[in-house]
Structure 1
Amino acid sequence: MNPQQARLWEAIRIVPHKWEEKSYGKLGNGFWIVAIIGATVIWYNDIEDGFNRSHYTSFGTMDEYWCNQDELEMALQHVLNFVETGQETRTTIGPSMPGKWSR
């Protein structure tokens, strides 16, 4: 981590614990929340093996599922960018959708 990311990490990190997520979280009894800032959590997706950032409205339950496979530093950098500029810089990758694929 660069120094800015490390300072942010120290300010928002928590002891990891699992939170519910209604669509894909049932498989592993939730996902590991590692940081909280405002109404946003940084969490580890053990299905996709990467970190993501999601909103929540009820403590203990994530509102969104993403399958980004970011390193922790990347997830923190997206938070820093948002705090500094107010602009969302991350792209979110949703789960695969069943159905016919066409070109």
Structure 2
Amino acid sequence: MTIMSFPESQLWDLINDGRDRMSLEQRRLWDAICVPPQEWTLATFGSFWVVAMIGSYVIYYNHLEDGFARSHWNQLGVIDRYGSEQSELEDEVQRQISRIAIGYDPGPHSGPPIAGEY
């Protein structure tokens, strides 16, 4: 496991600020799925803070993109897919509420950076 480069104290600031902005519905789901921050790894990208778990998915803070993202996981401690959504915590929780309401994942979907000139 690589050394976490994003301080947990700053993560807690982001979590607390996000929770303060949540609607009552968002806060209810958040309180059901949140976990104390845990360091998980993502192949070739290093360590990230997982902050919530629901079924086979996690919400984690991507300090490389400066936002929260969601990914599937198969092995505890390992994030399966890189997400570059750059979401606020309450926005990612709202997307989870929408996924539950409609029964499938409508997106948005993102992936790792693609090399090249832009």
Runs of 4+ in 1 over 3 A off after TM superposition: none
For structure 1, the 5+ residue unaligned runs are none
1:73 CA displacement: 0.7
Which residue, 43, 47, 53 being the options, matches 1:22?
Answer: 43
Structural mapping, 1:46-65, within 5 Å = 46-65=63-82
TM-score normalized with structure 2 length: 0.77
For 1:8 and 1:63, how far apart are their aligned partners in 2? 23
Indicate the SS of the match to 1:20. Answer: strand
Contact 1:78–1:89 (CA<8 Å) still a contact in 2? no
Aligned length: 97
Counterpart of 1:3, as a letter, is L
TM-score normalized with structure 1 length: 0.87
For 2:117 and 2:66, how far apart are their aligned partners in 1? 26
Counterpart of 2:27, as a letter, is A
Contact 1:52–1:69 (CA<8 Å) still a contact in 2? yes
For structure 2, the 5+ residue unaligned runs are 1-21
Matched, 1:45 2:66: no
Contact 2:72–2:79 (CA<8 Å) still a contact in 1? yes
The Cα RMSD (Å) is 1.3
Contact 2:69–2:86 (CA<8 Å) still a contact in 1? yes
Percent sequence identity over matched residues? 40
